[in-house]
Structures are given as structure tokens and as C-alpha cells.
């Protein structure tokens, strides 16, 4: 009886969250250990399927950096990174597309379908979904009077998101699963794009209620190394200025705050190593990560 009561209390706690999110779009960047461990793969697929079944519209954007690195290593090709971005020549771009679109994407789709969902795999090339432009990176060089332009090859940024295909799939109750490969139609080039940035751009274009980034960290920690469950844009900016948020967390946090600043109601960084992390973040009062909003009060 106690177990049944606990289940009932959990459902009651989830009810206002379910009511608020009914009919809304949630964009989820799927990456980290949640894409590697078999039990976490299964729990993520179940979470996404359940969201769709209760009337929420999830859109999944996945990463695949480690998988790309493994294939390149097997091919005898060394991975080179500059400012955390993979240098992507013609041959590497072919491998990126093969891994992201032909392998990782299809596995994610299959997992969701196995869990009872109706997932459809896409890349940025499909229906002009992700219009990309070449990413230019600058680096200060003491020998030059102006910043040095670093050529990363086929590394891109999102220029525009064409939401037509996503709206069509939502209408017919499918779950889009997107590989972060963009395309520049005018020059006929494919581009490898950071999955966090693709997720944020898709969330803005769809006027999503939430953007969720699955990571291998618990969330944002304060100066005392305690998890911050909710942060406003102003609080986040202060923590960056004071060095509390630093290093590799800055790009992810900035991705979230930019999305909120451009109309996404809430953005979340959550620990994908926790089984059913998506459901726990969305449908419990405390959640399992850090939520960003425009105001200080959630």
C-alpha cells in the first residue's frame, strides 16, 4: 500500500507540470553518457515516447563526437581540435555524415520506436531543415595587426531553420530526431555543427517552451559546489563574471541563456547519467539539473 501511495503522490506532483506542458514543444539535445550506456539509451527512449503519448511534442537533436572519433581512429585519421571544435576537412566531413546521419541517428530512431514511439530521422539537408554557413574563428596572433582567421574546414553555424518539415511531423504525431549536419545550398557544402547550437536554434525557431541539454555533469554549481536548481539570466551573468561558471560550462550555459533571451520559456542543463533524467526534470518540483529562466523566480 505504501508503494502504491508513493506512486500516486508522484503522479499528483507531476500533474501541474503535465498541464502546463500539454501541446508544447520541447527541444532536447541528446548527448554524453546517455548515448553510450545501454540502460540509459533505453530510459531516454522511454522518456521521449512518454512525452509524446501525454500530449507533449519532443524534438530530439543528438550529438556523436565520441562515435566520430572512434571511426576516424579506425581509419587511421587523427582528430584535431581548435577551441573545442573538430577540424573537418573533406574526408572527415564524409565520415561525420556517415556516423551522424547513417549510424547514430538511425540507432536513436530505432530505440525510440522500440519503446513504442514513432520517430523519424532527419539531417539538416532534409527539406532544407538547417541552412548553414561556414563558421569563422578568430585567434589573436602577436605577429599580426588583426586577428588571425582559422580555417576549420566544414565546421558551420546555423543560418536559418526551416520548420516546415518539423511542423508536418508534429501534426502527424511523429517524433523528429535530427543529426546536426547543416547544408549551404548556394555553395553545395555540408557542415558539421555543434549539436547544442543546433538545438538552441531549433528551439528558437519553433518557439519551444523548453530547451534541455543532456550532459555528463549534474548542472551548474554555486561557489560552495552546491547544485543550483534555478537561475535567472542576471544571476547567471553574475556567476560567469565572478568565475563561478567557467571553462567548458560557459558555452553550454550561454547556449541556454541565449535561448531564453530569444523567447524560449525555460532552458535546462541536466545530468544524462541519471536514468529517466528528462522525466525527473520536467515532472518533479525539484528536478535533477539547473533551470534557466528570464526571472529569478521559477
285 burial (CB, 10 Å; 0-12 / 13-18 / 19+) is exposed
| Band (50; pLDDT cuts 50, 70, 90) | very high
Residue 272 three-state SS: coil
Q: In what order do the strands lie in the sheet with 230-232?
A: 119-123, 175-179, 57-62, 25-30, 210-215, 266-271, 289-293, 230-232
CB 176 within 8 A of CB 150: no
CB 134 within 8 A of CB 95: no
* Residue 219: all three cell numbers together: 548542472
In degrees, to the nearest 5, what angle opens at C-alpha 254 toward C-alphas 247 and 250?
5
CA distance 288 to 43: 15
**Angle at which helices 90-99 and 65-74 cross, to 10°:** 120
Can you give the pTM of this predicted structure?
0.92
Q: Which CATH architecture has domain 16-293?
A: 3-Layer(aba) Sandwich (3.40)
DSSP 221: B
| Band (298; pLDDT cuts 50, 70, 90) | very low
* Residue 240: all three cell numbers together: 560567469
Residue 258 three-state SS: helix
Lowest mean pLDDT among 9-18, 117-126, 163-172, 268-277: 9-18
- The predicted model gives 186-196 an average pLDDT of 92
CB 152 within 8 A of CB 98: no
CB 268 within 8 A of CB 244: no
DSSP 207: T
| Band (136; pLDDT cuts 50, 70, 90) | confident
Lowest mean pLDDT among 92-96, 257-261, 284-288, 290-294: 284-288
The string of pLDDT tens digits covering residues 210-262 is: 999 999 999 999 999 999 999 999 999 999 999 999 988 999 999 999 999 99
Amino acid at each position: 500500500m505504501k508503494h502504491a501511495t508513493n506512486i500516486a503522490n508522484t503522479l499528483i506532483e507531476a500533474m501541474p507540470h503535465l498541464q502546463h506542458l500539454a501541446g508544447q514543444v520541447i527541444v532536447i539535445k541528446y548527448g554524453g553518457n546517455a548515448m553510450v550506456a545501454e540502460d540509459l539509451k533505453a530510459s531516454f527512449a522511454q522518456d521521449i515516447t512518454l512525452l509524446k503519448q501525454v500530449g507533449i511534442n519532443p524534438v530530439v537533436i543528438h550529438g556523436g563526437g565520441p562515435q566520430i572519433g572512434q571511426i576516424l581512429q579506425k581509419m587511421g585519421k587523427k582528430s584535431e581540435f581548435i577551441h573545442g571544435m573538430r577540424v573537418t576537412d573533406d574526408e572527415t566531413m564524409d565520415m561525420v555524415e556517415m556516423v551522424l546521419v547513417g549510424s547514430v541517428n538511425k540507432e536513436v530512431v530505432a530505440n525510440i520506436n522500440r519503446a513504442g514511439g514513432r520517430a523519424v530521422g532527419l539531417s539538416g539537408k532534409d527539406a532544407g531543415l538547417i541552412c548553414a554557413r561556414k563558421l569563422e574563428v578568430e585567434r589573436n596572433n602577436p605577429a599580426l595587426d588583426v586577428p588571425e582567421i582559422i580555417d576549420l574546414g566544414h565546421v558551420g553555424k546555423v543560418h536559418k531553420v526551416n520548420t516546415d518539415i518539423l511542423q508536418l511531423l508534429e501534426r502527424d504525431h511523429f517524433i523528429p530526431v535530427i543529426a546536426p549536419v547543416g547544408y549551404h545550398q548556394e555553395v553545395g557544402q555540408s557542415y558539421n555543427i555543434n549539436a547544442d547550437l543546433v538545438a538552441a536554434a531549433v528551439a528558437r525557431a519553433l518557439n519551444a517552451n523548453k530547451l534541455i541539454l543532456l550532459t555528463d555533469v549534474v548542472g551548474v554549481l554555486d561557489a560552495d559546489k552546491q547544485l543550483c536548481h534555478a537561475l535567472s539570466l542576471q544571476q547567471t551573468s553574475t556567476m560567469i563574471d565572478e568565475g563561478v561558471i567557467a571553462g567548458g560550462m560557459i558555452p553550454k550555459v550561454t547556449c541556454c541563456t541565449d535561448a531564453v533571451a530569444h523567447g524560449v520559456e525555460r532552458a535546462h542543463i541536466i545530468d544524462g547519467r541519471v536514468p529517466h533524467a528528462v522525466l525527473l526534470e520536467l515532472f518533479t518540483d525539484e528536478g535533477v539539473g539547473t533551470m534557466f529562466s528570464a526571472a529569478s523566480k521559477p
